[in-house]
Amino acid sequence: MDTDSLTIAVAIKHVPVGGAFLRAQDKGLTREGVSHGIDPLNEVAVEWALRAREAGMATKVIVVTLGPPSAVDALRRALAMGADEAVLVTDPAFVGADVRATARALAAVVQRVEADLLLTGYESLDGSSGAVPAAAAAILGWPLLSRFGDGQLDGGALRGSRDLGAGPTRVEVDLPAVVSFVEGHVPPRYPKLKDVMRTRNAEPTTLTAADLGIGPAANGERVIDLREVPMAPKEPTILDLEAGIEALLVRLTAEANHG
Amino acid sequence: MADPRFLVIAPDVATADALLGVVPASACVDVVVLGVGSGDLDPATCALPADSIRAVPALAADADADVVGPALVELIRAAAVTVLDSSQPGRDLAGWLSATLDRPLVWAIDAIEVDGGILRADRVVLGGSHRLVHEVGVAAGVLVLAKPTLPASAQDRSRSAPADVTTLDVTAAAPRVRVLEASSDAAAGVPLNAARVVVSVGRGIGGADKVPLFRELAERVGAAVGASRVAVDSGWVPFAHQVGQTGTAVAPDLYVAFGISGAIQHLAGMRGSRSIIAINTDVEAPICRLADIVVKADAVEVAEGLLKRLG
C-alpha cells in the first residue's frame, strides 16, 4: 500500500433529523414528509477524516452515500465541511436495500475509488441494525475496527481507542480497514457559510446498480404489518427534592430487601 | 417440512437465557456460549430450555466477527435461524455472517414465530407506539439480532430432559485488530440484563466526575448502573452500561432515571420496566411521560441526599 497517497472513503446517510422520525403509513414506515439531513454520527467520521488529511496523513477524503437523489444534500453538507469528492449511488433497485445490498454497494464504491480506509458510524439513526460496517468489511476482506472513538494514522496502521462494552481499550490495526465511529470524541466542525454557498449546487459522481454490477439481495425480509401498541396515558406524581428523596428511599430499600 | 433448527450464540449464560426467551418455546434449539469451557459453567446452566449447550473456550466473548465467524460458520450454516444478542460484537457478527453466507438479517427483534417455513419477527418502532412485523423465508437461513424482554427462565419453559452440555474445540484465527492496552474499567457490579433495580444516569448529572456518586448509590441498594447514549458516548460510563435501542434492553422492577431526558432510542430500551422514577429538573422531558413518579430536582442533589440518608 502506498501510504503517501492514502484515500479515505466515508459512508454517510441522509436520515430523518431534528426530533422528527419515520412516519407510520399504511402497514409500514415511510421517510416521506419527514425533514432530513446528514446523520450527525457521520459528521464525526467526516471530521476525523478531514483532520487526518489536514495532518498530512491522508491525501483525499471521498464521501459516499446510497439513497434517493435527494440524499445529495448529505453529500453537499460533507463537501461544505471539506470533503474532496462525493459519490451518490442511486437506483430504484436499491429502494429498501437491506444490510447485504447496502454493504455490497459501499464495498464496490470503495474498490472503485481505491480507498485504503472506509469510515462509517456504528449504526445509522434511522436503520440502526448496526451491522452494515461488518458486512462491508466481510465483503472487502478487511478487518473491522468497531466503535472507534479517536486515534491516529501512523504509516500503514491506525492506533486508537475503542469501547466494545468494558470501557476504552487501546487497539491497533493495519490498513486497509473499515472503522465504525461513536460520537463524543471528535466534535465535527460547522461548515462556513461561504463553503455552504460554494457547494450548494455541487454534483456528485452518480452511480447505478449496473455501474457497480450489483443488485438487490435474494430472499430478503419484507415488512408485512405495522400494529399500534395501545398505551394508557400516565399521569406521574410530581415530587420536590425532599419528598422525592423519601419516596426513592422507600422504593430502593424495599426492592433491595426483596432481592 | 421439518421444524427449523435454531442456534443461539451468546457471550455468557445470562444472555443465552435472555435470547432463548425470544425463541419459540417448542423449537429445537442449540446454544453456543463463548469464552467459557463446559467445566466452568454453573451446573444449573443445563436447565436452560435447549437441546444442547456448547461452551467455546477458544473464542472470547467480545472477539471480533472475523475471528468468531470463520470458527463457527459451519455450525451457523447448518442452522435455519441463528439468534444473536444486540451488543456491538453481536451486531458485527450478524453483519459478517449476513454478507458471508448471503442470509437476510432482521434486528431489534423481541418476538419470533415460525409457521410453514416463514419466520415472522416483530420489533418495537416509533418510540414504542407501534410494532413492525417482518416476514422472511427460513429455508435459505435467517439471522436474528434479538432484543429480549423476558428471559426464558422467567417463562414457563421447563423441559423434561436437561440440555446436553459439551465443550466445542475450535481454532481461532489471530485477531487483526490488536489490543495494545486493555481497559482497566471492566463493567463491574450487577449485570444490567439480570437486575431487579437499575440506577441510570444521563447528561443531566453534569459530568464524568459525578458518576462515582451514582455507582456508590447503585452498589448500596444492589442495583445495576445504566446510562443513556449521551453519557456513554461522552466517555462517562463504559458502553456495557448503555440502556436503549443500541445497548441493553432492560425490564426491571424499578428503573430510576437520573438526569435522562428520554430520547426515543433510550426509551426503547427501558419502557418495559414495571415502575419508573425520573429525576429531572424539567418535568416536560419525554421520560416523564413514562414515569410513575417524577422528582423535580437536581439529580446530584437527590443522589447526595439519598446517600446521606442511607448512612
CB B297 within 8 A of CB A241: yes
Residues of A in contact with B92 (CB under 8 A): 130-131, 133-134, 144, 146
Closest Cβ opposite residue B66 in set A29, A143, A255: A143
Complex confidence, ipTM: 0.89
Residues of A in contact with B305 (CB under 8 A): 241, 245
pLDDT at B251: 81
pLDDT tens digits for range B281-298: 999 999 998 899 999 999
- Which letter does DSSP use for residue B28 in this model? E
- Which letter does DSSP use for residue B243 in this model? B
How sure is the predictor about B272, in pLDDT bands with cuts at 50, 70 and 90? Answer: confident
Q: Is residue A255 scored above 70 in pLDDT?
A: no
pLDDT tens digits for range A32-85: 777 889 998 999 999 999 999 999 999 999 999 999 999 999 999 999 999 999
How far is B160 from chain A, CA to nearest CA, in Å?
29
- Scored b (16 or more CB within 10 A) or e, A175-206 reads bbbbbbbbbbbbebeebeeeeeeebeeeebbe
C-alpha angle A106-A113-A45 in degrees, rounded to nearest 5: 60
A235 lies within 8 A of chain B by CB: no
pLDDT at B144: 96
pLDDT tens digits for range A231-243: 666 788 999 999 9
Q: Between the CA of residue B98 and those of B175, B198, B248, what are the distances in Å? A: 20, 34, 22
pLDDT tens digits for range B13-70: 888 998 999 999 889 999 999 999 888 888 778 788 999 999 999 999 889 999 999 9
Mean pLDDT of the B213-218 span: 94
Secondary element (H or E) of residue B122: strand B118-125
The mean predicted confidence, pLDDT, of chain B is: 89
Name the strands in the sheet holding A205-207, side by side, starting at the edge strand that comes first in the sequence. Answer: A205-207, A85-89, A60-66, A7-11, A117-121, A177-181, A144-154, A157-162, A169-174, B178-181
Do A137 and B65 count as a contact with CB atoms less than 8 A apart?
Answer: yes
Do A255 and B254 count as a contact with CB atoms less than 8 A apart?
Answer: yes
Residue in B closest to A130 by C-alpha: B91
Do B235 and A137 count as a contact with CB atoms less than 8 A apart?
Answer: no
Residues of B in contact with A217 (CB under 8 A): 102, 104
Q: Is residue B239 scored above 90 in pLDDT?
A: no
Q: Can you tell me which residue has the cell 439468534?
A: B83
- Which letter does DSSP use for residue B62 in this model? T
Q: Between the CA of residue B181 and those of A57, A89, A146, B104, B212, what are the distances in Å? A: 24, 39, 16, 36, 23
More reliable by pLDDT, B84 or B265:
B84
Residues of A in contact with B233 (CB under 8 A): 182-184
How far is B43 from chain A, CA to nearest CA, in Å?
22
Mean pLDDT of the B217-244 span: 90
Strands of chain A, DSSP E: 7-11, 14-16, 23-25, 28-30, 36-38, 60-66, 85-89, 117-121, 144-154, 157-162, 169-174, 177-181, 205-207, 222-228, 237-239
pLDDT tens digits for range A73-118: 999 999 999 999 999 999 998 888 899 999 999 999 999 999 999 9
CB B225 within 8 A of CB B231: no
pLDDT at A228: 80
Residues of A in contact with B107 (CB under 8 A): 128-131
For the entire predicted model, the pTM comes to: 0.84
pLDDT tens digits for range A139-196: 999 999 999 999 999 989 999 999 887 778 899 999 999 999 998 789 999 999 999 9
pLDDT at B162: 83
More reliable by pLDDT, B117 or B195:
B117
Residues of B in contact with A219 (CB under 8 A): 103-104, 136-137, 140
- Scored b (16 or more CB within 10 A) or e, A39-51 reads bebbbbbbbbbbb
pLDDT tens digits for range B127-164: 677 888 999 999 999 999 998 877 888 788 878 788 88
Q: Is residue B195 scored above 50 in pLDDT?
A: yes
Mean pLDDT of the B88-111 span: 95
Q: What is the dihedral of CA A195, A197, A201, A207, to 10 degrees?
A: 20
- Which letter does DSSP use for residue B265 in this model? H
pLDDT at A259: 42
A227 lies within 8 A of chain B by CB: yes
Helix residue ranges, H only, B114-179: none
Do B181 and A173 count as a contact with CB atoms less than 8 A apart?
Answer: no
Separation CA B274–CA A106 (nearest Å): 43
How sure is the predictor about A198, in pLDDT bands with cuts at 50, 70 and 90? Answer: very high
Q: Is residue A26 scored above 90 in pLDDT?
A: no
Residues of B in contact with A131 (CB under 8 A): 91-92, 94-95, 98, 105, 107, 145
Q: How many CB pairs under 8 A join A and B?
A: 303
pLDDT at A230: 75
